[in-house]
Copies of this chain bind each other. A is one copy, B any other.
Amino acid sequence: MQKYFITKNDLKNHIISGDDCHHISNVMRFKVNDRILVSDGEKNYLVSLKTISSNEVSFEIIEEQIGNVELPVFVSIFQGYPKADKIEEIIKHGTELGASLFTPTLMKRSLFKLDPKKKEAKLTRFNKIAKEAAEQSNRNIVPLVDDILDLKKIDFSSYNHKILCYEENAKNNELTNFKRIISNLKINDRIAIVIGPEGGIDDSELNYLKSIGFTPASLGPRILRTETAVFYCLSAISYEMELKK
């Protein structure tokens, strides 16, 4: 069922405003009395549409939906800024897979050069992608795409597990670090995952991250592309913590 995230104010007034109205009326072509889900980021409601225009949609609440579909841990992806539009693919699929926060991270081997004039527009677009992916995958919350930051300016102190995806470990047949951490996670743990850009992690970055408590870890014996590494980490965390035997 289609889901839309709305503001607490719109929820109180039983309306949907902004771009979603266009989506409801012209893209999905919903009709009066059709049912959708709305969420204020805390609770989900099954609602019935009462009036529809491309500027405003009003609804009636049928019932609150019970059920949490969020990962039981807070996973924050610090993604070395990759080439082309890969960051969008990472935000889209990473949102479906349950990430809570994305930080596009400038690293030494990022080929991406940040144009300060375009930054705000980029962040707006990234957060829109996260919102749409959260709606499509029926998330309870919309993950935040944070500011584009230099690796060494990021404060990792709030995380109790810190993993650096490091392909040199794959070449050296290290296959224990990732699973040892993930299989010991507890509910509400906070995990920071750093993933290098296409060119990988620079030695000074590796040493810096180790010095602040990151564990370099391989994701199996094959060499994964940067975007594939994100999907691997989040899928493995879901498999470990959400699926049951």
CB within 8 Å of B: which residues of A? 67-69, 93, 96-98, 136-139, 173, 175-176, 178-180, 182-183, 219-225, 227-228, 231-232, 235-236, 238-240, 242-245
Known contacts A96-B222, A96-B228, A231-B231; 4 further A-B pairs (Cβ under 8 A): A67-B221, A96-B225, A220-B243, A236-B238
Assess the A232–B240 pair: CB atoms within 8 A. no
Residue pair B231, A219 in contact (C-beta under 8 Å): no
User: Which residues in B have their C-beta under 8 angstroms from that of A243?
Assistant: 175-176, 178-179, 219-220, 236
28 A–B contact pairs at CB < 8 A?
A67-B221, A68-B221, A69-B221, A69-B222, A93-B225, A93-B228, A96-B224, A98-B220, A136-B225, A137-B222, A137-B223, A137-B225, A138-B222, A138-B223, A139-B222, A175-B242, A176-B243, A176-B244, A176-B245, A178-B243, A179-B243, A180-B245, A182-B239, A220-B242, A220-B243, A228-B231, A235-B236, A236-B236
Residues A222 and B93 in contact, CB atoms below 8 Å apart: no
Please name all residues of chain B whose beta carbon is closer than 8 Å to the beta carbon of A223 when the two chains form the complex. Answer: 96, 136-138
Would you give the shortest CB distance from A143 to chain B, in whole angstroms?
A: 12
Partner of A222, one of B97, B220, B227: B97
A149–B227 CA distance with the chains assembled, in angstroms: 29
Least Cβ–Cβ distance between A99 and chain B, in angstroms = 11
The residue from B93, B179, B180, B245 contacting A231, defined by CB atoms under 8 A apart: B93
Q: Are A238 and B225 in contact (CB under 8 A)?
A: no
Query: Are B232 and A97 in contact, CB atoms less than 8 angstroms apart?
Result: yes
Inside 8 A of A139's CB, which chain B residues have their CB? 222
Chain B residue with the shortest CB-CB distance to A95: B222
Tell whether, in the assembled complex, residue B242 and residue A240 are in contact, meaning their CB atoms are under 8 Å apart: no
CB distance from A119 to the nearest CB of B (A): 27
The 8 Å CB contact of A232, one of B219, B235, B244, B245, is B235
Contact A242 B228 (CB under 8 A): no
Taken together as a complex, chains A and B put the C-alpha atoms of A207 and B236 apart, in Å, by: 30
Given the complex, which residues of B lie within 8 Å of A240, measured CB to CB? 239
| Residue among B179, B228, B245 making CB contact with A179, cutoff 8 Å | B245
Q: Give CA–CA (A219, B244) in the complex, Å.
A: 11
